[in-house]
Structure 1
């Protein structure tokens, strides 16, 4: 993305693609595709895409598109049967890629035409004014990786590796020389249900290092044992020494993969566990892909704040996950954890002040627990103040996970996934509250309750305001929390407020209440801050999220404050001018 575009606000709608259009409500734990159903590429029709666009999204992240290991038999289509002993769940992990040049046959109406069906979805998404993001999983692949549809001239990972040594800079994998792989001792594929390949054995000689870096021929069931780690020229087996000259084979092969998908019209990549891959690779690869499409974007899943700036400046990433920071802080306050207060938000954004425009903010994704689950906040309403801060505090993008906008709680043990407040990514499953919006592929919310319709209307209005107001897109942040710390008429534990100001010409006041009780606040805006704003006399301001109007006098605001009542789990975005 061109430098002058960085920091522009956009909205990512993430869907677990195989779950999104599934209308089957059976939900048998460890159920087969036939029992529990699966969503198809073709289910994501124009109505669905317009519904996503109406919500305010600009980009759709199709999660789990690329072919990964599954426990469904497609051998009649010349797709090898996967070994159940190295697959998590029956539908498999979307991050155990088994063929980087193919798509998941589960989601095809006609399996032989699966790639054409996905290419049609790319075109359909573009025709509806949305951009396409897919996953790139650079750190690991499925234990039994093999591409049976790779383009001519492409060589599989590991095809020419020297397997007699643990590490070689030109190997694609790390090996445990002289030892054979053993299935984790306590792992029961399919929860103990029978399957032709579930025999407690998987042939791999010599054993490869597992995806999470476990250097053992018999990893634990808690390891990423279904995957193997890719070798980018870093000797993780000894001293982490780097060997980047000549360019490692893995660098070249992953560049071929990303070139392939970029040429299919993909607009960006969400890069899984990007920090497990050397930053030098990203800095080498991303500019080459940008030569093909200068507007393509790269988003890094990264959890090490000390590495943020390296992955932006040296690695050339456009955006990074803001999990260890704003997400964790918002979650703590939304969950009413002891000692967690909204005061901490100031410290978080200040710690990233120079890179705030590069931070992708969210409250849900496929790895995190649902807001409405008892494991998180216990109510979808808590997402109202949390999402308002996520969307409006910074100038970077914001993300919504499918079903979040209707309060999906992620209930039930689905098989490999326990009842832990997450929507499964491993099992064939239906997503009940989201299915009410899908409404038999009408995508009109026909089965939603009034409360759910109101929640979706809030998300829609919040995204609309976020995308329309210049002050929220690129305006200066004026944090009012530090100013009101000693204000007895302002509960700093639950209330958080700030102004976003664009060139003195546009300004909004954001006020949120993270409490389950209404709060009265007198928000002080001192004279020195008001001098940076356009001077106004007493007037009425309108809440852009609802119908609330408020009479204010800015001169009085510097001493007595702006008085308002904030509902439980409430949020206002007042247009000051």
Structure 2
């Protein structure tokens, strides 16, 4: 469903590009000067699938058990491991899969009920089918009884390493068998007080089909929830009466196998006919800050589900977590986000809040009204860069994206990999991690927004394993599995790359250089202007496999040039338009520019008749971040 939505929004984006096509013939507008302080620098989020990071078991049996294929632990994030992550150029760690979700491992001796394979995806379970929001995944603890304490120790270690902690909250849905063992005093489970005789009530946490019983989906031929194993609870039955609506919105008492059948939809006070049983924000409130939003909701009656998720978020903020990643935020009303995020910001004004929203038409509402800090730039920048990496897309489509988002560019989180997307090095994507290098330079330097890196991306992980429920091209989030490229770097938990290949070491060095440039650059927290379309029109030998733009602050001037061609070197005289030369207050003459990435490329920036030129020579897939040396 998630990918279906993404494809629909991709069609919307194509129309968006068509509407902006005229930009090619227009002179680029210079953004207003941005004042940059030392505290305003780029941020980098390292998404790490917590259960896989420290797993050194390379057995990789499809549908393998925890004992057969191994599992990583909170304790695997040692001081050494965290230092290496920090030194990579990271500012925030998103520990994916921390809240207690369904798993097919028997923890009954710890008072945890077994989970039914008929409503669990994979043996290790989906991290987005949360069973208990007030505790953590028992798989991740060495001492199961002390799992919360072990996570708290990880939070503290992460902070001591100079990093901030992000975890998931999934407000749209929970596991079908949600049951918290460790609710704080006075906190009631989702659905505990629901009137199940009604399809809908404003204070019900779920939607129901009264007098109907839930039925397990009809599986495809030869499919079994745990592969060839016959599990005691695998009987194609699950006790849920009355049936609840499914997480992706399906109202069927027997959802389809491609639905999010392992989850149930949360009711936020929107009736089946679309009526909102809560107050909406007043006109113009998108321009108010979080304090005004918190004040607005302070005396309002809100649906019970709103309170439950607000309390969950504040629990983890008090625990020491610094922010959240919200799954499928657009499936939850924007008014709820205003309510919850303003409450979070009142407790921690610096909380880092990022979310999936795949419809560009909703971006501004969820940023301005919903007070979400950062949204995935998926259907615009990521999809376009992917096509260029695959060899059939054109860089000409990139500048219009930045033009169209310039009022919210800081809020659009950039990435090339995450747990939902294919690995760059997989055959199904680009087939080579090297093809991701120019795209990563562009993704990380084209705006002031944060950059996200998925663990193993920096080592060229190709996700070739058939994990069981999860298939090749994406590192499985549903199975116990090893991550080979990462495991070689982990090197029996030495975290030193001791088993890495030379190519893997070189790739990680590239990412380290790039990310550290971004977090230490004032220009990359400052102004942007496209020069690509100008050079496409005015520069010989400058083609649609090249991209260039400039970034600057009061004390730093950068020119970024990337060659996406995997086979061809590029050589041309890059032109810097007169309006940029004027903005930078450069005089006629010659200035030295040097590459910030490797410090092996330098050239002369020659200004004549008000326009600048730089002799550029790039190898296949090479990029340069040229800095004008002090005058």
TM-score, structure 2 length as denominator? 0.88
Question: Using the alignment, how far apart are the partners of 1:6 and 1:140 within structure 2?
Answer: 37
Match of 2:515 in 1: 463
- Identify the residue that residue 121 of structure 1 maps to in structure 2: 154
Quote the residue 2:48 is aligned against.
15
Instruction: Return closer, same or farther for 1:556/1:193 CA change in 2, 3 Å cut-off.
Output: farther
- Aligned positions of 1:266-285 closer than 5 A: 266-285=321-340
Contact in 2 for aligned 1:67/1:104 (Cα 8 Å): yes
Q: Distance in 2 between matches of 1:14 and 1:450?
A: 24
Residues 1:233 and 2:269 aligned together? yes
1:303-329 deviations in whole A, cap 9, x for unaligned? 011011001111011111111111111
1:515-554 equivalences under 5 Å are 515-517=565-567, 518-535=569-586, 537-554=589-606
**Aligned counterpart, 2:447:** 394
| Cα deviation code 1:498-534 (max 9, x no counterpart) | 110113x320110001110221222111223211113
Give the paired residue count: 569
Specify the alignment match of 2:308 in structure 1. 253
- How big is each residue's C-alpha offset from its partner over 1:138-171, in whole Å with a ceiling of 9 and x where there is no partner? 0000010011111111000000101111111110
Partner residue, 2:383: 328
Question: 2:398 maps to which residue?
Answer: 345
For residues 553 and 226 of structure 1, do their structure 2 counterparts lie closer, same or farther at Cα, with a shift above 3 Å needed? closer
C-alpha distance in structure 2 between counterparts of 1:358 and 1:243, whole Å: 27
Cα distance between partner residues in 2 of 1:166 and 1:572: 59
Number of the residue aligned with 1:69 = 102
What's the counterpart of residue 359 of structure 1? 412
2:483 matches 1:483: no
Deviates more, 1:316-325 or 1:218-227: 316-325
TM-superposed CA distance for 1:382, in Å, is: 1.2
Q: Give the alignment partner of residue 360 of structure 2, picking from 281, 301, 305.
A: 305
C-alpha contact (below 8 Å) 2:41/2:519 kept by paired residues: no
Encode CA deviations 1:427-465: one digit per residue, 9 max, x unaligned.
000000010110110000111111111110110010111
The alpha-carbon deviation at position 297 of structure 1 amounts to 1.7
Q: CA deviation at 1:549?
A: 3.0
Distance 1:53 1:214, change over 3 A: same
1:531 is paired with a residue of what secondary structure?
helix
| TM-aligned CA distance change 1:463 to 1:320, over 3 Å | same
Structure 1 residues 481 and 135 mapped into 2: Cα distance closer, same or farther (>3 Å)?
A: same
Specify the SS of the correspondent of 1:91.
coil
Deviates more, 1:385-394 or 1:477-486: 477-486
Listed as ranges, the gaps of 5+ residues in structure 2 are 1-35, 280-299
Give me the whole-angstrom Cα distance separating, in 2, the residues matched to 1:314 and 1:5: 29
Q: Which residue of 1 aligns with 2:247?
A: 211
Whole-angstrom CA distance in 2 between matches of 1:64 and 1:308: 26
CA separation of 1:312/1:553 partners in 2, compared to 1, >3 Å: closer, same or farther?
Answer: closer
Deviation at 1:376?
1.1
Q: What secondary structure does 2:458 align onto? A: helix
* TM-score normalized by the length of structure 1: 0.96
2:182 matched residue in structure 1: 149
Q: Distance in 2 between matches of 1:462 and 1:48?
A: 20
| Range with bigger deviation, 295-304 or 20-29 | 295-304
CA RMSD across the alignment = 1.7
Partner of 1:371: 424
1:193-232 Cα offsets, whole Å, 9 max, x none, are: 1111111100101100000001101111100000000001
How is 1:406-421 mapped onto 2 (pairs within 5 angstroms)?
A: 406-419=459-472, 421=473
> Match for 1:381 among 422, 427, 434?
434
Partner residue, 2:140: 107
Contact 1:321 1:360 in 2 (8 A): yes
Say whether the 8 Å CA contact 2:417–2:454 is kept in structure 1.
Answer: yes
Would you say the 8 A contact 1:489–1:520 is kept in 2? no
Once the two structures are superposed, residues 267-326 of structure 1 have per-residue CA deviations (whole angstroms, 9 ceiling, x without a partner) of 000111111110001111111112221211211111011011001111011111111111
**Residue of structure 2 aligned with 1:57, choices 83, 90, 93:** 90
Match of 1:180 in 2: 213
Within 2, Cα distance between the matches of 1:557 and 1:134?
Answer: 54
Contact 1:543 1:549 survives alignment (8 Å) = yes
**Deviation sequence 1:362-409 (CA, Å, 0-9, x none):** 100111100111111111011111111111000010010000000001
Out of 542-551 and 340-349, give the one that drifted further. 542-551
For the Cα contact (< 8 Å) 1:6–1:318, is it kept in 2?
Answer: no
Contact 1:318 1:358 in 2 (8 A): yes
Query: Deviation digits for residues 25-70 of structure 1, max 9, x if unmatched?
Result: 0000000000000000001100110010010001000000000000
Tell me, yes or no, if structure 1 residue 39 matches structure 2 residue 72. yes
User: In terms of mean alpha carbon deviation, does 481-490 or 64-73 score higher?
Assistant: 481-490
Provide closer, same or farther for how the CA distance between residues 5 and 165 of structure 1 changes in structure 2, counting only shifts above 3 A.
Answer: farther
Of 478, 487, 505 in structure 2, the residue corresponding to residue 426 of structure 1 is 478
Q: Against the structure 1 CA distance between its residues 560 and 101, is the aligned structure 2 distance closer, same or farther, given a 3 Å change threshold?
A: closer
